[in-house]
Structure 1
Amino acid sequence: MARSDSVIEWLLDSDPAIRWQVMRDLIDAPEREWMAERAKVETEGWGAKLLSFQDEDGQWAGGAFLPAGFDPHEWREQGQPWTATTFSLSQLREFGLDPSSERARRTVASIGVSARWEEGGQPYWEGEVEECINGRTVADGAYFGIDVSSIVERLAGERLDDGGWNCERARGSVRSSFASTINVLEGLLEFEKSTGGTPRSREARSTGEEFLLQRNLFRRLSTGEPADERFLHFLHPNRWRYDILRALDYFRASALLTGTDPDPRLGEAIGHLRSRRLEDGRWPVDWILPGRVWFHIDEGQGRPSRWITLRAMRVLRWWMRGLQSASDDGP
């Protein structure tokens, strides 16, 4: 208990974007208290800093997916850039910027007017063509109160036969990918939170979840081997990338929305998550994506990470409560 208390104190000694989620998810603070802390995201710390880089037309870095004037050599030599509108908006959602705030409403309205996808010039809130990008666009749009139902309908119709998604589908892929699937699932979940969803969106979310669960969140269905060793190494920010902690946090949020108990097939991933906990009760960030960013928000690769620790602790708390609930309901 003392170890847990010291970790909670460490998490609270942080940015408002971390603190309000600790208050809500780990210490059960009254709603009025964590909502007051959440409101600070707009005016203090990382949230305010990211908003300060916003262009006058509501975008970031002058582009939807890529910064204005982007040179492809940068991607090859330094990594994908993360400063444009789509990644900045997703980060504000992760921080918890209040979608009802005047700044948030003004931002998403301006983006709807100004931003166009580089791929085909489509208006931002009509979506792009890749499922991975559209999943995040749905998540951001639904969170910030935009009608993204047309993108949701498109995504529901783009599922592959195995139940998930792959952004290479248009280029012939017939197998779903873990990364594309988690991006779409997060979008569909946010849409369901905001609107209740539709029969098609709920059914699509169910098949996408089953795709991941059948594979224990990281294994190949054909051989049982890990599909990618990086899925077992924790990353932040994830951007479009997949790891099992991202998936576990998704399943936690999904179960809380639907009132269901944890699926037992999550157990192996939970065991791995526990095994990665440091002796002092914290979790490290294993790797950080290269590429241009506005600023860094973790202490550095290999060091204890507040973001990873927050997500891990709330997943384990939910898992243990689920086991207790199942035990209480047993014979």
Structure 2
Amino acid sequence: MVPQRDDVLEWLLAGDPAIRWQTLSDLEHAPDDHVAAHRERVAHEGWGARLIAHQLPDGSWDGGACFPSEFSAELYENEGQPWTATYPTLTLLCAMGADAADPVVAAAADRVEASVVWEHAGQPFFDGEVEPCINGRTVALCAWLGRDASPIVERLLAERLPDGGWNCEAPHASAVSSFDTTINALEGLAAYAAAGGRVPVDAALRGGEEYLLERGMFRRLATGEPAAARFLDLAFPPQWHYDILRGLDHLRCAGRAPDPRAADAIEILRSKCGPDGRWCLERVHRGRMHFPLEAVGEGSRWITLRAMRVLDWWDSAQSAAAAQPEPARQ
């Protein structure tokens, strides 16, 4: 290791348990028992413990499933979409890697299952809702918390569009997929497959990933221009929004081989590394949170961890390919 990488790893390991265990697992490849010992702390220390402490006696966070009980059009206009209800809070705990087998986490999930329902039509929380972006992340939560998401998965598979992806606006006459909806569906299906789900999802995963790769992970198919400027901003928590780091990290996590069509996105990500080997947080999506995690414009452990593991995945595959002997000439 070069000294700079050592310094960055030391900085990451000095962070919250959610950062520490993933650094040990994904960047240092530490022994499983060492990783598990640090992962156990997520629900009891730091950010994870603070989030769990916000759960209300009724099982919800902030009184609702997708939105707080006091949500209104005026609140949305003034502050943006709030991220303090049950769904975004559990999604963040999942990203932190809180151990679902921990009694504290399991009890919190049981309280959600017992009483939290969706604002859409009163559906039980773990039954999902109707929008594929919400359902994709609900599938990921079910996979994490040991609930069967097969009925939601079957709905997602039926809602794929001809171009391979998904779009929450499809019922309103949108005939093409969106990056935002597609990444949420892909992450959910990948988590479901990794958890041993009974419904085959491989074809849908490949089709959705092709949708992203055909567009270079961030471009419009017709013009080659960025589909949205924010896709190039590195954000955490990602909420329902797409960005290149989120897309690349999905490919890594799903075990895909690096694809040359993602090379431009990789180089943009690489270019954002500072001279100290760290990446900055470039965006926090507008809306109320339980508490701030990191500050925009400053070195971000979340972004640095995720960027480093993506680049390790990419660079190790490139190195392995370069080391292959050329075939003998006839």
Sort the TM-score into its range (normalised by shorter chain): over 0.9
User: Pairwise mapping of residues 1-331 of structure 1 onto structure 2 (< 5 A)?
Assistant: 1-196=2-197, 198-199=199-200, 201-255=201-255, 260-298=256-294, 300-331=295-326
1-structure distance, mates of 2:228, 2:71 = 30
Structure 1 outlier segments of 4+, above 4 Å:
none
2: CA distance, partners of 1:80 / 1:323: 40
Contact 1:16–1:45 (CA<8 Å) still a contact in 2?
yes
Instruction: Indicate the SS of the match to 2:42.
Output: helix
Give the SS at the match of 1:40. Answer: coil
Match of 2:188, as an amino acid?
Answer: G
TM-score normalised per structure 2: 0.96
What amino acid maps onto 2:259 in structure 1? D
Distance in 1 (CA, whole Å) between partners of 2:225 and 2:45 is 45
Shift of 1:263: 1.5
Percent identity over paired residues: 48
Q: RMSD of the TM alignment (CA)?
A: 1.1
TM-score by length of 1: 0.96
C-alpha contact (below 8 Å) 2:153/2:199 kept by paired residues: no
How far did 1:56 drift?
A: 1.5
C-alpha deviation, 1:327, in angstroms: 2.4
Following superposition, the deviation at residue 109 of structure 1 comes to 2.1
How far apart are 1:330 and its partner, in Å?
Answer: 4.5
Paired with 2:272 and 2:325, the residues of 1 have a C-alpha distance of 31
For the 8 Å contact 2:150–2:197, the answer to whether it is kept is no
Q: Secondary structure at the match of 2:217?
A: coil
Structure 2 residue runs without a partner (length 5+): none
**In 2, are the aligned partners of 1:261 and 1:326 still within 8 Å (CA)?**
no
Aligned-pair CA distance for 1:159: 0.4
Superposed displacement of residue 271, structure 1: 0.7
Give the drift of 1:196. Answer: 4.9
Shift of the 72–268 alpha-carbon distance from structure 1 to 2, 3 Å rule, reads same
- Within 2, Cα distance between the matches of 1:106 and 1:51? 10
Q: Distance in 2 between matches of 1:133 and 1:274?
A: 30
Alignment gaps of 5+ in structure 1: none
